[in-house]
Amino acid sequence: MRSTGFVPLPGGGIASAVRVADRRGDDAGVVAGRVVRRLRLTEKQQGLIQQLIDAMAETMRKLDLDLRLRGAERRQINQLRDKLFDDYLRRALDLLTPEQQAEWKKLHDEPTAKQSPAL
């Protein structure tokens, strides 16, 4: 499963999650902090993206439960989760300015030892 790049915390928002995760040394927090800083996300953008992350997490939880109850194979579940992730990522990218989208592409394309960041 791909990581959203953010550590959603109830009521904390992206900025709060980044600060907490960065202090703990979590990879997701480092990625999230790097994304927020490099893209210069506004508080409004962070809030809207956090709403998408929360909605995606809830939708994935329900999808997993529903598919498991129906006896779906892990491969099928993963394929549907990937489609759902791609949809939410596209929606998050639509919230960015053209300049932020260009910077996200640069950040995403940077070679790393780990997975590229996602919104």
pLDDT digits (tens, 9 = 90+) for 83-109: 999 999 999 999 999 999 999 888 888
pLDDT in tens, 42-82: 989 988 988 898 899 899 888 888 877 778 888 888 888 89
pLDDT of residue 96: 94
Q: Which two tokens stand for residue 47?
A: 């809030």
Q: pLDDT tens for residues 3-43?
A: 444 433 334 444 444 433 434 444 455 557 778 888 999 98
Which letter does DSSP use for residue 76 in this model? H
Question: Tokens 């099928």, residue?
Answer: 76
Per-residue pLDDT, 41: 92
3-state secondary structure of 112: coil
Which DSSP string do the residues of 27-54 spell out, in sequence order? HHHHHHHHHHHHHT--HHHHHHHHHHHH
Residues with Cβ within 8 Å of residue 18, at least 6 apart in sequence: 6, 7, 29, 32, 33, 36
AA identity, residue 106:
K
**pTM for this one?**
0.63
Query: What is the enclosing helix (H) or strand (E) of 66?
Result: helix 43-69
Please name which of 70, 88, 83, 16 lies closest in space to residue 47, comparing C-alpha atoms: 16
Q: Which pLDDT score, from 0 to 100, does residue 119 have?
A: 63
